[in-house]
Structure 1
Amino acid sequence: MTSAASGIGPGGRTGGRSGAGAGKTRTRTRQVPDREATAIKLLDASVKHSFDPRVDVAWDEPWLPDTFFLPERLSTLYGTDLWERLSRSHRIELTRCELANNLAFGIWVETLFMQMLARHSLGYHPRSNHLRYALTELGDETRHSTMFSLMLDKLDRGPYPFNPLDRFATDLLRAFSTEPLAYVAVLFVEEMFDALQRYGLKDDTVQPLCRQTFRIHVVEEARHMRFARDELFRLIPRLPRVRREGLAAAVAVGVGLVSRSMRTPQMYADAGLDVREAMRAARSNREGRAVLQECIDRFTPVYDELGLITPASRALWRAQGWRV
């Protein structure tokens, strides 16, 4: 059922856009299908490629001995003098704690996005495929967070407390985000974690059970990123410049938040490290920054095309040491 046949507006909402905002519509940077066409494709893909973590993950399988939980290169301390002093078993334990930290952060941000998507879905037309896919995505995200929670149990590590200021910032995002900001936030976070998990998928030194969960998340998040990306190409060209500048700044600030989330003091303590030494080494780790820069390089072309890499936001990126 297309939007024209059902009387649904182009946004999957009841009615269309009107008023002063309608006259400010800008030419899109790329052509994307209408919302209903995108939703139909994603709904079909969801039927063919969805997983139930309670059934599709071999939770009863034991951990393999002498096997990492993340690729060594993804450890926040890889390449540092501290890393070189650690025994192999100590390095493996560190990656175990780091994976637990990343999964707990994943639960946090996915739950935030579920709240934002559910709130914005109230404005979608009840008979639209756009709404149906949004609800399907909520189901996917619920299963992902369940999978991460089960993995935390299996790891028997974490969760670790996040930076209080960053947690407060994400609470503000949850409470006051606009629809474009919600999609901007989810897209860059998912793009970064997708890139990191793709490293893990290809690494035979990583526990098979971990690679299994990475694969599930990568397959299903590909749909979520397509949904968010297409929405941004529909929404952002309609926004006035001041709002686009605000979104551009939010991306630059948000990348710093994600970077800090990977360096949790209690995580290093549980791994048996001196917290101050580990935090200092992680902050100055060139190899760690290079890994994150590779993740950033994957999604910044899209944000540049959207007009979300502006001179002002570029200065924010550079102030944090990132290249865009």
Structure 2
Amino acid sequence: MTTAMPLQRPAISDREETAKRLLASSARKSYDPMIEVDWEAPVPDDKYGLTPEWSTLYGTALWEEMTLEQKVELTKHEAASVSSVGLWFEILLMQMLLRDVYGRDKHSRHVQFALTEVADECRHSVMFARAGERFGMPSYGPHPVIHKLGRIWGGFFKGANAYASVMAAEEILDMMQRDFMKDERVQPVTRTVSKIHVLEEARHIRFAREEVGRRLQGASWTRLQIERLNTAVVVYFVMKSMIRKDVYANAGLEPERAIAEAKANPHYKDKVRTSGTKLMQFLDSAGLVGGPSKRLYKRVNLL
């Protein structure tokens, strides 16, 4: 990966100015998914659950053998899996934000935007849950072990690592959903859900990016190593959780073959690597890529 320019760390005094701008943006452009999404609209039989090029089987021999009906069914399950992981992480994010502002001045714009973000994430969580329900999909979520580890993360992670992890997870969803929302081959529900999430998450990503810079000011070498590894571990587990292996059996495919072809799929690996370039450049510029963390990023195809 090309070495990024060092991160220009925002001054602590800029925190309130950033929060003021983000609050103004929230006031101008926020969405209620219960109104914006037509939850009663028919689910077309010939529309994919997500952009087919984002399917883990796209480009494989198995994909070429599948009928349109099978491809549509698989991508609905994959979309439900992605949404369920988004929902899981939104809940962790809300916990982190509320813990972070608990002892801060509630009159500050910084705290008020954090609370505004929590309100956004509440709506997003319901939206993701409703989308899976509308497609009649299982409630996937991360693997039970990862779900339990999330409880630990939710209770102890804080500071730069928490904001970097949140920003990274949101960027991962964002890089997929920017394609979903523009693709007319995709289910209308998926497109609208993706559009709402992308537009509102742009503020959240900005908020988190700047906090990472502030929280890492003056970080010691030892602390930076810890922050690197912790962030990479969270990104690793989020990426590994995106598509649960049982989506293949649930979509009517032979699971062993589907899992093997998805695991070896060069197209999907390239798609993740290319789409994740902006995220990895930011993490690198922040000093959060190096040592053991590189191996974890490579294992989930981000490097």
- When residues 31 and 263 of structure 1 are mapped into structure 2, their CA distance, relative to the original with a 3 A threshold, is closer
Separation in 2, partners of 1:141, 1:323: 25
- When residues 155 and 28 of structure 1 are mapped into structure 2, their CA distance, relative to the original with a 3 A threshold, is closer
- When residues 47 and 132 of structure 1 are mapped into structure 2, their CA distance, relative to the original with a 3 A threshold, is same
Choose from 61, 76, 79 the match for 2:59.
79
Per-residue deviation, 1:185: 0.9
Separation in 2, partners of 1:157, 1:215: 21
Query: Over aligned residue pairs, what C-alpha RMSD do you find?
Result: 1.8
Asked if 1:54 corresponds to 2:54, the answer is no
- Counterpart residue number, 1:100: 80
Separation in 2, partners of 1:134, 1:254: 21
Equivalent residue runs for 1:90-239 within 5 Å: 90-160=70-140, 162-239=142-219
- Counterpart residue number, 2:257: 277
- When residues 317 and 204 of structure 1 are mapped into structure 2, their CA distance, relative to the original with a 3 A threshold, is same
Separation in 2, partners of 1:228, 1:87: 42
Separation in 1, partners of 2:41, 2:256: 36
Per-residue deviation, 1:163: 2.2
Q: Which amino acid aligns with 1:29?
A: Q
Per-residue deviation, 1:112: 0.7
Contact 2:227 2:288 (8 Å CA) reproduced: yes
- Counterpart residue number, 2:3: none
Unaligned 5+ residue runs, structure 2? 1-5
Separation in 2, partners of 1:321, 1:195: 15
Separation in 1, partners of 2:136, 2:301: 34
Q: Which amino acid aligns with 2:260?
A: R
Separation in 2, partners of 1:130, 1:321: 33
Separation in 1, partners of 2:239, 2:59: 17
Contact 2:50 2:180 (8 Å CA) reproduced: yes
Q: TM-score, normalised by structure 1?
A: 0.87
The superposition leaves residues 273-320 of structure 1 with CA deviations (integer Å, 9 ceiling, x where unpaired) of: 1222221111111111111112321211111111111244224434x2
Contact 1:28 1:234 (8 Å CA) reproduced: no
- When residues 323 and 182 of structure 1 are mapped into structure 2, their CA distance, relative to the original with a 3 A threshold, is closer
- Counterpart residue number, 1:29: 8
Q: TM-score, normalised by structure 2?
A: 0.92
Q: Percent of aligned positions with the same letter in both sequences?
A: 35
Per-residue deviation, 1:321: 6.3
Separation in 1, partners of 2:184, 2:222: 47
> Between Structure 1 and Structure 2, how many residues are aligned?
297
Unaligned 5+ residue runs, structure 1? 1-26
The superposition leaves residues 113-142 of structure 1 with CA deviations (integer Å, 9 ceiling, x where unpaired) of: 101111111022121111110100000000
Range with bigger deviation, 245-254 or 205-214: 245-254
Separation in 2, partners of 1:302, 1:265: 30
Secondary structure at the residue paired with 1:238?
coil
Instruction: Give the number of the structure whose alpha-carbon radius of gyration is greater.
Output: 1
Per-residue deviation, 1:28: 6.8
